Structure 1
Amino acid sequence: MTIIAKGGSFLLGRTDPQTLFTPEDFTLEHKMIFRTAAGFVKDNVLAQMDDLELKTEGLNRKLLQGAGELGLNGSEIPEEYGGTEMDKISTTIIAECMGWSGSFAMTQGGQTGIGSMPIVMFGTPKQKAKYLPGIGSGEIVGAYALTEPGAGSDALGAKTRADLSPDGKYYILNGTKQFITNSGFADIFIVYAKVDGDKFTAFIVDADSEGLSTGPEEHKMGIKGSSTRQVIFEDVKVPVENMLYKIGKGHVVAFNILNLGRYKLSANSLGGSKFALELAATYANERKQFGNPLASFGMIQEKLAEMAIKTYVTESMVYRTGGLLDEMMHSLDTSGPDGGQVAAKGVEEYAIECSMNKIFATEALDYCVDEGVQIHGGYGFSAEYTIERLYRDSRIYRIFEGTNEINRTIIPSTLLKRAAKEELPLQETIDALKTKITSGSIARDGEEGLVQAAKDIFLLTLDASQQKYGKDLAKQQEIVGRLADLSMQAYAMDSAWLRAQKAVVNEGEAKAKLKLSMAMAYINSTIGLSEYTAKETLTALAEGEELTNLLENLKKLTQYTLRNTVALRQEVAAVISENGKYTA
C-alpha cells in the first residue's frame, strides 16, 4: 500500500528519492501528450502570435476550440461529462506546454482551471451536465470573477451582493468585478457574492443575463492577447439552481480552486522559463562580438547556466508536487456524488507545496526572461524579438492566483495550523533538533547534509519566531516572509537533490552528471542565502545574550565546505550552449 505523504512533511525528515516523481518517469502516454500540446502551441498559437496580440476578434475562441478537439481543455473533466479525465502529471504537462503560448496560457488556463474547476469539484450533476461538455470542447468559454476594485488579495472583503428574490427563484446580484480574464468573450462566469451582504457564496452566471455588462479592455503591460475587463452586475437574476456548493461556503470553493490554480501557474512558468532559455541560448550561439560567439564569454555562460539551474529546480519541484497530487487522487474514492469535493480536499493537503511552487516558479521565470533580455542586449528591448514579449508577459505571474506576498503568508501559517491540529509532528522535530544542537556542532556531509541543514535552519528560526510572538506571529509579516523563503529554499534544494539521486540510481552517474551539477550548484549557492536570511531574522527576534545563543546554535547547524560553483556552472553552460536549449 502506498503511504501518502502529508503536505509539509518534507521539512520533518528525509524522503526516499525513489518515491519522487520526476520528468524521467514520464510514460509513453505522457510523452505523447507533451508532443500533442507542444505541437498545438507551436503550430497554432505561436504561429498566430501577432494576430493574438492585436486581439483579432474570434481568434481566442477558435484556439480554445482547437485545443478542445485535441482533448487539452477537458483534462480535468470527467469522461461522463465529455472530458478526457487525465492524471495530474498529464494536466501538468499541458500547463507547462501552454506556458510557451504567451497570453493564450491565461485564456486556456482560465478555461481549464479556475473557470471550470469550481463546477468540476463543487457543481451538482445538472450543473456539470449543462456546462462541462461545452467547456471541454471550447464551445462554452468560462471565466472566474473573484477580484473586485477594492478587494484584490482580500477576497473575503468583496462587496458584490446576492439577494434572494421575493418569489425565491433567483438571486439578484449587484456589484463589480475587476481584472477578469476571458471576460470579453466568456459565456459563463464563476462569480463570488455575499448573500444578504455577509454570506460569501459562489454562483454560475450566464454571460447573456440581463443586467450583466463588461467594461472596456484593459490596456496591459503584457499578456495583451488575453481579454481582461471589468464585469458589472446590475440587478442580474441568477436562478437559485446556479448557486455553487452551499450558501456561505464560497471561500471553500475559491481557496480550493486557487490551490490548483497556483500549481498550474507554476507549470506555466516552467514552460516560459524553458522558452526564454532556448531563445537566449540560440541567440548567444549565433551572435558574435569581438569575433567570438556570445556563448563563449564567461559572464554569458554564467547567465545561461543560472537560467538552466533555476529551470531545473523549478521542474523538479513542479513534477514532485504533481506526483504527490497524483498519488493523493489515486488514493481517494471520488466516485460518489461528493467526489469533486473529496478531490478538492485532497488537493488542499498540498496547499503549502502549491504556494511554494507558485512563488519559486514565477520568480525563476522573471529571472530567466530578465537575463534573456540582457543576453540579447539592445535587441532584447526591441519588439521584433520574442524575448521582449516574454519579459512583459511574465510580470503578471507574481500577481496572479494570490500575490507572492500573500502566498508567502500562507506557507508558515498553514504549517503551524496543521501542527496545532497534530497533523504534523513539528514540535517533536524541533525538540529533537534542539537536543542535537546541545550535543555540539553537526557535521554536514555533502549536498545531502546541506539539504538537511536548510531544513534545520528553518526549524530553528521558526522556533525562535514562535517563542517571540506566539499566536501573534502572523502579524509580523517581515518575519513570516523570511520563514516562507527558508522553507521554500529547503523544498527547492530537497527536490533538486532527490531528483539527481534518483537519476544516479536509475541511470548511472555518467548520465545523471548534468542533474548532479545543477543540483550541487543550486544547493551550494543557496545554503549561504538561507544562513544569511536566518541570521537577519534572528537578529530581529532577539538581542543580547539570547541573540548570541541563537546565532551560536545557527553556527552549529552550518558547518560545511562549499564546492566550486563557478566550475559547476561552466559544465552546465557547456551543455546548454551545445544543445541550444534547456537540457536535464
Structure 2
Amino acid sequence: METTEKDILRGGQFLIKETLSEDVFTPEDFSEEQNMMKEAVIEFNDREIIPNKARFEAKDYALTEDVMRKAAELGFLGVSVPEEYGGLGMGFVSTMLTCDYISSGTGSFSTAFGAHTGIGTMPITLYGTEEQKQKYVPKLATGEWFGAYALTEPGAGSDANAGKTTAKVSDDGKSYVINGQKMWISNAGFCSLMIVFARIEDDKNITGFIVEYDKENPNGITLGEEEHKLGIRASSTRQVFFNDTVVPSENMLAARGEGFKIAMNALNIGRIKLAAACLDSQRRITTLAVQYANERKQFKTPIADFGAIKLKLAEMTTNAYAGESASYRAAKNIEDRIAMRQAAGNSHQEAELKGVEEYAIECSILKVAVSEDVQHCADEGIQIFGGMGFSEDTPMEAAWRDARIARIYEGTNEINRMLCVGMLVKKAMKGHVDLLGPAMKVQEDLMGIPSFDTPDFSELLSEEKSMIAKLKKVFLMVAGAAVQKFGPALEEHQQLLMAASDIMIEIYMAESAILRTEKNAKRFGEDSQKVQIAMSKLYLYQAVDIIEKKGKESIISFAEGDEQRMMLMGLKRFTKYVNYPDIVDLRNEIAEKVKSENKYCF
C-alpha cells in the first residue's frame, strides 16, 4: 500500500496523537535481507573485533584502521550510500541495523565506524554537488579513503557556531585559505578527507568545506598527538591545525554560511545512529552478566538466584528492550518519510535530509535515553561481577569506560534534552504540531469533575495504554503552562526544559515498548510475549515514577497558589494506577527468563 503523509505521524506528534501498534515497526519485522545483513555483521564482529579487544584497549590504532578496511570489503561502510556512488543503497532501517550490531565489540571501532559512515560521509551525500559526490563518495563508501568531521574547537563545543577557524577567499577567487584549530577529531590519524567548518569574513554562520588530507603533502595541516582518553582508546582522536591550508572553491559544501545547518542535520543522523550503536552493547553486557551470575556461587548458590541480582538483570534487560523498540520505531518513521518524499519527486538528497530533520526530536530523545541506559547497564554489569568487574581481565570495566563518551558526543545529553522541548515548541509555532489545542483541553479536564467509573481493562495492555494517554496529559499540562507563562523566554529556564524533556523521553520509550509488545502478542500469540509484557509493564512503572517526580519539580518551579494546587492535583490524577503492577514479580519473571536462556534473548 502506498504510504501517504496522513498515515505517518510527524515528528513530535506522538505526544498528541495515539499510535496504533500495527503502525509501528519492530525488530521482529526485519526482512529476510535485513536478517541476513544482521547475521553478517554479527559474524564480522565476532571474528574481527571481539577476539581483539585487548589490542583495542592497548591503543592499537593500526588495528582500528585495518578492521575498518575489512568492514569496507564487506560493504558495511556503504550500506546507506546510493548505489550510483559505490554503496549498497539500503534503507534507513538497514543502516541502523548495521550500526547497531557492528558497534558492540568495542567503543573504539564503533566510534571510528560511526564517524566515517555518519558525519564523515553523509554531509557530502546529502549536501554535495553531483561533482563532489562523484569524486569523493565512492572512495569513502569503499574504504579507499576514510573520513573525519572537524567541527569542535577549544572555544566551540556545544556552541558549534562559535568557531574561530577562518576561511579567506584567495585574490583570484579560485580557492579559500583556511586557518585555525580543531579538537577531538575522530579518525584524524588515518583519514584522507575532512569535513571542515570555518567562518568566511564576518559571516553570521560558519561554512562547510571538503578538505583533502595527504600525509605526504599535508597542505598546511598538522595533527596533534593521539589523545589519551578514559575510553574508546583505539579510536584515533587528535587535534587538527590548519596553517594556510588551500582548498579549491568548488570544495565548499552547500552554500556559503550553511555550515551550521549542515552540522545540525549531520548531528540529527548521528544521534539516532549513536542510539543504535549502544543497543548491542547492552545486549552483550547483559548476556555476560547473566552468564557470570549463573556460574558464580556464593553461600553455595548461584548469585543469579538472589533477588538483588535479579533486580539488576531484569532492569538491564528491560532497558535494552525499550531502547530497541524505540530506536527501530523511529528509524522506520524516517525511512517511510524519505520514501514518501522521493515518491513526491524529491531527490535522494532532499528526501533524506527532510526525512531525518522531521524526526529530530525523536533522534535527540533516543540519543539521551539509550546512551544513559548503556552506561547504567555497564555499571550494573560491573556490580554483578563484583571485584572481578573492576579488573581489566573481565570485559565490564572497558564497557563502562567506552559507554561514558556516549552521553557527551553528538551533542551532550543536557543540550539534547533542551533541544527536545525547544524543537517541539518551534514545530508548534510553525503549525506542524498542534500543542495548544490539546494543552487547552487538558486545562479543561483539570477544571472538570473526574470520572469515578471503573474502566474496563480486559484487553491486553489496556491499562498501560490508558496510562500512556494520561502521561501525555502531564506533558501537555506542564509544557502548555510553561509556554504560556514564559513564551520565547522559556529557553532561558534550562532546568525546567530538562525536566519537561525527561517527561517526553519516558513517554516515548515506554510507549514504544508497549506498542512493540502489543503488536507481537497479536500476531504471535500472547503466551509468546509473557516476558515482553512484563518488561513493558516494568518500564512503564518506572517511567511513571520519573514523570511524577519531574512533573512536580516543574510545576512548583513556575506555578503558585491555586494554579499550583490544581496542577499538582492533576499530576496526581494523571500518574495514578487503577491496578498497580507487582514490580517484584515482574522483575523476577524477566530475570528467570534470561537466567534460563543464559543470555539476553529478545
Question: Within 2, Cα distance between the matches of 1:406 and 1:431?
Answer: 28
Question: Within 2, Cα distance between the matches of 1:107 and 1:322?
Answer: 22
1:9-39 CA deviation, whole Å, 9 max, x = no partner?
1000211100100011111111101111111
Match of 2:594 among 562, 576, 579: 576
Report the secondary structure of 1:189's partner residue.
strand
Report matched runs for 1:544-583 at 5 Å: 544-560=561-577, 561-583=579-601
Partner of 1:159: 164
Report the secondary structure of 1:86's partner residue.
coil
Report the secondary structure of 1:216's partner residue.
coil
Determine whether 1:48 maps to 2:52. yes
Asked if the contact 2:25–2:328 (Cα under 8 Å) also holds between the matched residues in 1, the reply is yes
Shift of 1:465: 1.1
Asked if the contact 2:286–2:377 (Cα under 8 Å) also holds between the matched residues in 1, the reply is yes
Shift of 1:64: 1.2
Shift of 1:556: 3.0
Distance 1:556 1:48, change over 3 A: closer
Determine whether 1:537 maps to 2:569. no
Shift of 1:463: 1.5
Report the secondary structure of 1:400's partner residue.
coil
Shift of 1:338: 5.0
Asked if the contact 1:437–1:557 (Cα under 8 Å) also holds between the matched residues in 2, the reply is no
Report matched runs for 1:148-547 at 5 Å: 148-198=153-203, 199-208=205-214, 209-333=218-342, 339-441=348-450, 446-547=463-564
More divergent stretch after superposition (461-470 vs 516-525): 461-470
1:254-283 CA deviation, whole Å, 9 max, x = no partner?
111100000000001111111111111111
Report the secondary structure of 1:368's partner residue.
helix
Determine whether 1:91 maps to 2:90. no
1:55-97 CA deviation, whole Å, 9 max, x = no partner?
3353222211111111110011110111001111111111111
Question: Within 2, Cα distance between the matches of 1:57 and 1:323?
Answer: 35
Unaligned runs of 5+ in 2: 458-462
Asked if the contact 2:197–2:206 (Cα under 8 Å) also holds between the matched residues in 1, the reply is yes
Partner of 1:143: 148
TM-score relative to the length of structure 2: 0.95
1:330-372 CA deviation, whole Å, 9 max, x = no partner?
1122898953133211110000000000000000001100000
Unaligned runs of 5+ in 1: none
Question: Within 2, Cα distance between the matches of 1:552 and 1:288?
Answer: 49
Asked if the contact 1:175–1:233 (Cα under 8 Å) also holds between the matched residues in 2, the reply is yes
Partner of 2:460: none
Report the secondary structure of 2:209's partner residue.
strand
Determine whether 1:62 maps to 2:66. yes
Asked if the contact 1:159–1:197 (Cα under 8 Å) also holds between the matched residues in 2, the reply is no
Aligned residues: CA RMSD: 1.5
Question: Within 1, Cα distance between the matches of 2:395 and 2:343?
Answer: 43
Report the secondary structure of 1:163's partner residue.
strand
Shift of 1:217: 0.5
Q: How many residues align?
A: 584
Q: Give, as a single letter, the amino acid of the residue that structure 2 aligns with 1:117.
A: M
Question: Within 1, Cα distance between the matches of 2:322 and 2:564?
Answer: 33
Distance 1:389 1:517, change over 3 A: same
Question: Within 2, Cα distance between the matches of 1:170 and 1:573?
Answer: 62
Q: Give, as a single letter, the amino acid of the residue that structure 2 aligns with 1:471.
A: P
TM-score relative to the length of structure 1: 0.98
Shift of 1:435: 2.5
Asked if the contact 1:437–1:556 (Cα under 8 Å) also holds between the matched residues in 2, the reply is no
Q: Give, as a single letter, the amino acid of the residue that structure 2 aligns with 1:204.
A: I
More divergent stretch after superposition (439-448 vs 165-174): 439-448
Q: Give, as a single letter, the amino acid of the residue that structure 2 aligns with 1:76.
A: S
Q: Give, as a single letter, the amino acid of the residue that structure 1 aligns with 2:597.
A: N
Q: Give, as a single letter, the amino acid of the residue that structure 2 aligns with 1:45.
A: I
Question: Within 1, Cα distance between the matches of 2:504 and 2:330?
Answer: 15
Q: Give, as a single letter, the amino acid of the residue that structure 1 aligns with 2:257.
A: G
